[in-house]
Structure 1
Amino acid sequence: MTESTKPTTISTEEQRRRKREWYIVVAVAVAIFVVTYIESHISRISTNLPAATNVIVFGLININIILLILLVFLILRNFVKLIFERRSKIIGSRLRTRLIVAFVSLSIVPTFLLFFVVIGFINKSIEGWFGIRVEDSLQGSLELGQNYYKAISDRMVIYAKQVGEKLAKEGLTNEDSDKVRAYLEGKLSETGSSTIEIFSANRDRVGYVIGSHVNQNMVPDIPLESILNAFEGNASNFIQTLEKGDVARGVSPFFSNDRKTVLGVVVVSYYVSRSLISKMREISTAFESYKQLKILKTPLKASYFTTLLIVTMVIVIFAIGIGRYMAKEITVPIQQLAYGTTEIANGNLDYRIDIEARDEIGVLVSSFNKMTGDLKATKTRIEEANLDLKRTNTELEQKRRYMEIVLGNVAAGVVSIDKNGNITTINRVADELLGISAGISLGKNYKDILRPKDEHFFNAMMTEMKERGVENLERQVQIDVKDKTIPVLINLTMLKGDEGEYLGMVAVLEDLSHLLKSQRMMAWKEVAQRIAHEVKNPLTPIQLSAQRLSKKYRDRFSGEEAHIFDECTRTISKQVDELKMLVNEFSNFARMPSANPMSNDMNEIIREVASMYHGHQKNISFNFNLDKTLPMLDVDREQMKRVFLNLIDNSIESIDGAGIITIDSYYDKEYKIAKIELADTGCGIPEKDKPRLFEPYFSTKNAGNGGLGLAIVSEIVADHRGYIRVKNNIPRGTRFIIELPVKSI
């Protein structure tokens, strides 16, 4: 596997994502600008406020609202994330939620309390700013200044009219005499005016006086429009603003006696100093500012309110951040621990948690890492111990299987019981002898498994051992096995531990029937050999004597006597021949030649023997079911032919009338055994005769038969390491079963 390297260029998807973010930022900025412009435009139309003021105020309000919405979104996002984490059952989500809720609760209660208190103070302060007294004071001050200017202007017009009337009355309109000048100076001093000017009908200034407290440069020329307007018969007043002050001027025409002709124009001026103007302007500016602030009263409240909300939300977010940080300090190690336990449960003992912490969490993480290391070391030791244990178990299993194979193949039955009487071991031979099954007997008490008669034998032997104080006892008993009684030698041995404690019993059961049968067979062979030797010697002289009697004395008899003589001599010769045949059978039985096994086809031997009976037994039919897969067997061909000849002869003699003889052969691959079964529909064999059927000189036939045929069959099969047994054929007759081992291929 190769490590993946980071790309050096930004992917197309990343570029698209950044473009979308920029589009969103630009759209939000444009939206803020448009909303601010619309609000300021509408407000300026209705209130005539400066555009800059509107833009700043409403821009700040919009920014505050955007920030507030953003903060609310962040708070909601955090809480929604917590909810999803709890629903997803993420480890540590409950603890994280509790910590965040705790921190938010601890911060939000005093924050909201302070929020409402500050809102109250702000409301009171703003209401105080825009109170009726303040507004009335500013309004009164402004009106006072305005009235002051208006009063001065009005007085200037009145003074101008008075001067004009005086001049018209005395006819001093077109001359700049000392009298006029004296009058003007007196009037100037009387009214406190700054300047008095007189213009003739020709629009020329014919009179001009200025107060001592006023500099010539401080009073500008009167606008021509005002002079022309006065010559049209209109009086007026106005204020001229200068750099160092203001000039209040009253312009009034004076008429002829008929009031139809304007004789001239009088202009009276009053100079207002800069200090007074400044105060008046300050009052005016303050009042204008007050009116603007009053218009922005609600937006200001909203701005303060949103600002406080922003501060509150910032505190909440700060509390959430602290809560998440504290929760992270706890839950992240816990999540790592939980994940680590899962990894360890899945068998990954190399997993380690790489988190640096100096508090109790760090101790816990260090303990976890130490535990995983100990677990790995322990697992290694356990695996090594398991390997040793597996090797030991394998050896024990091999030994156990070997013992089972040994016990399964020994000719004797073996049964062991523990100190409580529970069966711990039993082999196949013991199963057959005691009539029980290992599958249901192991682990059970022998008293619950054995038949009453067999239990009596064992109890009696154990009692005798206890009474005699011996650890081994041997007894021969008769046991019923499959409806027959066989002799069994029981060897009972007490089991003791290294310290002499009682562990149980082991019983070895040996079937003596084969031993006794062999002993009887040897005895019969010896008897047959002696009989053949002792009987054969006088038979020939007896037969020769009978023949000599027939030749020498036959002619001496006639009629009935001759018939009787011939019958007697024939009987003697016939019986001698039968005795010779019997002696030959005994001799053959006693001197049975040893087998010379060679590889032969058993099916071919069966067909060869059966062919000898074709055409001779018309009432008896032969059926063959021969297995073509039957392997070659190492047998003595002539002896096996003798086996089948004897069995077929025995079956033919047992059939009275018509019958069927069936010969089957098949191969048992599991046990590597060739089985040949010969079944007939004859009279059958009584159950009581089956145990002795293969003994010499035992026969169920009519008298005169030697009864050695089945004994010879049993001897030949035994010489080939095989077995022969007999059972009833269904529905009638007898079935002989021969089992022969197949050589290893």
Structure 2
Amino acid sequence: MAGLFRRSGGPRRVASPPAEVSGQAPAPRKLTRRITDALLGGAATIALALVALGLGIATFALLSGGTPLGPTSPGQVVGIVLANLVVLLLLAASVIARFVRMWAERREGSAGSRLHVRLVLLFGVVAVGPSILVAGFAAVFFNLGIQAWFSDRVRDTLEASLVASRAYLEEHRNTIRADILAIANDLNRAAPVLLPDNGLAFARLLATHTAIRGLTESLVVEPTLGQVVASAGLTTGSVVDAPPSWALEQARAGEVVVMPGEGGEGRVRAMVQLNIPPGLLLVISRPVDPGVLEHMRKTELAFQEYDRLDRNRGDLQITFVVIFAIATLLVLLGAVLLGLLIANRIARPISRLITAAERVRTGDLSTRVHEGKADDEVASLSRAFNRMTSQLSAQRSELMEAYRQIDERRRFTETVLSGVTAGVIGLDAEGRVNLPNRSASGLLGVDLDAAIGLPLAGVAPEFAPLIEAARAQPDRPQTNEIRTGPPSARRTLIARLGAEMQGGRVEGYVLTFDDITELLSAQRKAAWADVARRIAHEIKNPLTPIQLSAERLKRRYLKQIQDDPDTFRQCTDTIVRQVGDIGRMVDEFSAFARMPQPVIRPEDVNQLLREALVLQRDAHPEIAYVTRFADPAPRVPCDRRLIGQALTNLLQNAADAVAMRAGEGAGRIEAAIDATPDHVTITVTDDGVGLPTEEDRDRLTEPYVTHKPKGTGLGLAIVKKIMEDHGGRLVLEDREDGPGARVTLILPVREAGEGASESTGTAEGAKVAHGA
């Protein structure tokens, strides 16, 4: 599990799916990281922690074992201290390195670093408490033991033992001193008599004293050569070792020398110089219990050591406190290091789970965590996490596939909706805009995409009655004609609103509408064209006989009528004149009903306008005509005769409008031509009566709609038809700088068959119009 996810100083990368949580250190830090990982590896750390714990326990045991005051060998103390220091330094380095790594991970925001820190602090507190308690109790008990061992009672006991042993030995010394003095006196008195002639008797006297006084041996020795002159008891040799020089010096000075036995002999010896020349020495020995002597020696040594330790008690306490402190640090650092390992083992899987959860949060459902072979809660959690991510990945794949299908259907639906000319708006149950198409925005002249979420009744109030009707009767589709748009460009829409029902409850509405303005206009035009054909057929036939009959009556009967011939002439002229007017009207009807197909050729538009102006200036000399031509003269593919007719109709309408302003001046008409790479614009502006009311403006281009007393209502209808045949547009609007109207013809530079797209067969863009 430790190798599943490695922390690094650099950013983490998501492995290719499926991938377990992993990390990679930057290249310059790989070697350092590997060395650190090797030093801080699990096996090395566990071994070091166990060595530290074992060494600390051994130090406590060694300091508390042996003699009560500690180890008897200074080498042991030095070895323990050195070993503890080495292990202590290694432990400190390992703990510091792990804390530095943990701090770096915390600073980098590594997953699980906070939990890791808390676990480490918890284990540290758990380890510090017992270690401090053990060290404190050890130091207290050590000090109590020191005080107990160096108490007055112990010192008095040792001194009493030493005094008793010394008294015992002194008693033996006094006894043997008395014995040797008595024997020396007897030998000094008997020696002059017995020694020269009867040495055997001298020896028997020595043996008698030895037996009477319970001595182990008695010797008379010549000190220079060590030759035995007389002996009694255990000694059998004729030569003995010479006594020590200090003993000889004291004996020659006349003192009694008492010497303890050597090598565990179990006796006390005494030596004194006899008065017998040449300076013979008397040496005797008395038996003493060897055990008593050994105890005396040990008591002496113990007291000496006790006295030495008592003098160095402060240094001893400091030494043992330092050793206890080092051992405590060893145990503490070992426990902390083990706590770090345990915390790492606990936090590492959780960190991997947190990191994997973060990846899942960012959308990487291929993330997996190592489950391990253990059968604990963390492994169960890892397996549950992997099952969860697998299920999420499968569900996301299914959702993505479903979303893909839905998105394809949505794009198909949007493509269909964007391709249709009809407007389609999806509404929710409250009548708020949900899904409009582009045609709906174009038909209503409102950006419906920006109005999503707003009530449609507020965005387009014209639909409010239709929505209320649908709410009142949701089970029946509602259909109605709606007029919308500004007065200068009124549109008639046929709208249908249907409710989407589910479980008897309205989930939303679908509103569809289409612009039928041109359809209605075309229907009216078709009807008026049929009427025009009928009128032309039914009226034109009798016009010629009537005119001929009137002219014949005038020629034949004018001279014969003597009573009021002027009235007869006036009546016949009126008939002829009115028949002519009716004929011209019939001709206009016929022209509207049978508009010829345009013959397209490149024509000079400036010239066409000049020709039309010549006729109007001659017919209306009272009007001031102002012209502005394009330079250079534009050439447009068009039918010369039809465009000339359209210009004539416009100029005639302008002249009629000026004439209708009675008593307000002679009038003014401006004609201008502007050219662009795509279009040529011809504008006719007058200062006449202006346009009719806004309610009737959208019908000005329909046949037989006129506001002139003698108008036929076909002038603008013919102009519009000519512009439609040329792929152009007719724009009608009010004059901006005063009363009057402005009419604009827009002709494409390209022929309609070559891709001219301006002609839609409508007067779209027209703002105002005035009648013929």
Q: TM-score range by the shorter chain?
A: 0.5 to 0.7
The partner residue of 2:671 within 656, 661, 677 is 661
The match for 1:643 is 646
1:269 match: secondary structure:
strand
Give the aligned residue type for 1:734.
A
- Farther off after superposition, 209-218 or 417-426: 417-426
The partner residue of 1:267 within 264, 269, 281 is 281
Distance in 1 between residues matched to 2:260 and 2:219, nearest whole Å: 16
Q: Could you list the runs of 5+ residues in structure 1 that have no partner in the other structure?
A: 20-50, 256-262, 409-413, 554-563, 669-673
**What whole-Å deviation, never above 9, does each CA across 1:346-378 have from its counterpart, x for those lacking one?**
222222222222133333222222222211221
Would you say the 8 A contact 2:553–2:572 is kept in 1? no
Distance in 1 between residues matched to 2:89 and 2:510, nearest whole Å: 90
Distance in 2 between residues matched to 1:711 and 1:448, nearest whole Å: 34
The match for 1:623 is 628
**What whole-Å deviation, never above 9, does each CA across 1:23-65 have from its counterpart, x for those lacking one?**
xxxxxxxxxxxxxxxxxxxxxxxxxxxx994444455456567
The match for 1:734 is 741
Would you say the 8 A contact 1:624–1:664 is kept in 2? yes
Distance in 2 between residues matched to 1:294 and 1:546, nearest whole Å: 180
The correspondence of residues 298-447 of structure 1 with structure 2, limited to 5 A, is 298=313, 327=343, 330-354=346-370, 355-402=372-419, 405-408=420-423, 444=455
2:364 match: secondary structure:
coil
**What whole-Å deviation, never above 9, does each CA across 1:417-450 have from its counterpart, x for those lacking one?**
9998788899999999999986769974759964
Q: How many residues align?
A: 662
**What whole-Å deviation, never above 9, does each CA across 1:213-255 have from its counterpart, x for those lacking one?**
3232784245689768877x66573749766747745343749
- Farther off after superposition, 387-396 or 293-302: 293-302
The match for 2:293 is 280
Distance in 2 between residues matched to 1:110 and 1:194, nearest whole Å: 65
Give the TM-score taking structure 1 as reference length. 0.65
Distance in 2 between residues matched to 1:429 and 1:16, nearest whole Å: 69
Would you say the 8 A contact 1:198–1:264 is kept in 2? no
Would you say the 8 A contact 2:220–2:229 is kept in 1? yes
Q: Using CA pairs under 8 Å that are at least 6 residues apart, name the structure with larger relative contact order, 1 or 2.
A: 2
Distance in 1 between residues matched to 2:512 and 2:89, nearest whole Å: 93
Give the aligned residue type for 2:647.
F
The partner residue of 2:229 within 202, 208, 217 is 208
Give the aligned residue type for 2:257.
N
**What whole-Å deviation, never above 9, does each CA across 1:257-293 have from its counterpart, x for those lacking one?**
xxxxxx64131112366x7567525532453245335
Q: Indicate the RMSD between aligned Cα atoms, in angstroms.
A: 6.5
Would you say the 8 A contact 1:626–1:666 is kept in 2? no
Distance in 1 between residues matched to 2:37 and 2:344, nearest whole Å: 29
Larger Rg: 1
The partner residue of 2:690 within 685, 688, 702 is 685
Distance in 1 between residues matched to 2:94 and 2:302, nearest whole Å: 38
Cα distance, 1:596 vs. partner? Answer: 3.1
Distance in 1 between residues matched to 2:455 and 2:33, nearest whole Å: 76
2:414 match: secondary structure:
helix
Using the aligned pairs only, state the percent identity: 16
Q: Could you list the runs of 5+ residues in structure 2 that have no partner in the other structure?
A: 1-14, 17-22, 40-70, 659-665, 757-772
Q: CA separation of 1:500/1:637 partners in 2, compared to 1, >3 Å: closer, same or farther? A: farther
Q: CA separation of 1:526/1:242 partners in 2, compared to 1, >3 Å: closer, same or farther? A: same
Q: CA separation of 1:739/1:515 partners in 2, compared to 1, >3 Å: closer, same or farther? A: farther
Distance in 2 between residues matched to 1:218 and 1:282, nearest whole Å: 33
Q: CA separation of 1:437/1:579 partners in 2, compared to 1, >3 Å: closer, same or farther? A: farther
Q: CA separation of 1:352/1:535 partners in 2, compared to 1, >3 Å: closer, same or farther? A: same
Give the aligned residue type for 1:268.
L
Give the aligned residue type for 1:609.
L
Mapped pair 1:715 → 2:731: no
The correspondence of residues 464-613 of structure 1 with structure 2, limited to 5 A, is 482-483=486-487, 510-511=516-517, 512-524=520-532, 526-528=534-536, 534-536=542-544, 583=583, 586-587=586-587, 590-591=590-591, 592-596=594-598, 598=600, 600=602, 604-606=604-606, 608-610=608-610
1:735 match: secondary structure:
strand
Give the aligned residue type for 1:374.
Q
2:280 match: secondary structure:
strand
Would you say the 8 A contact 2:251–2:272 is kept in 1? yes
Q: CA separation of 1:675/1:728 partners in 2, compared to 1, >3 Å: closer, same or farther? A: farther
2:113 match: secondary structure:
coil
Cα distance, 1:186 vs. partner? Answer: 5.8
Cα distance, 1:400 vs. partner? Answer: 2.7
The match for 1:135 is 158
Cα distance, 1:407 vs. partner? Answer: 0.6
Mapped pair 1:744 → 2:762: no
Would you say the 8 A contact 2:421–2:439 is kept in 1? no
**What whole-Å deviation, never above 9, does each CA across 1:478-505 have from its counterpart, x for those lacking one?**
9697558999797879879799999899
Give the aligned residue type for 1:520.
W
Distance in 1 between residues matched to 2:178 and 2:365, nearest whole Å: 108
Distance in 2 between residues matched to 1:722 and 1:712, nearest whole Å: 13
1:683 match: secondary structure:
coil
Would you say the 8 A contact 2:258–2:271 is kept in 1? yes
Would you say the 8 A contact 2:425–2:433 is kept in 1? yes
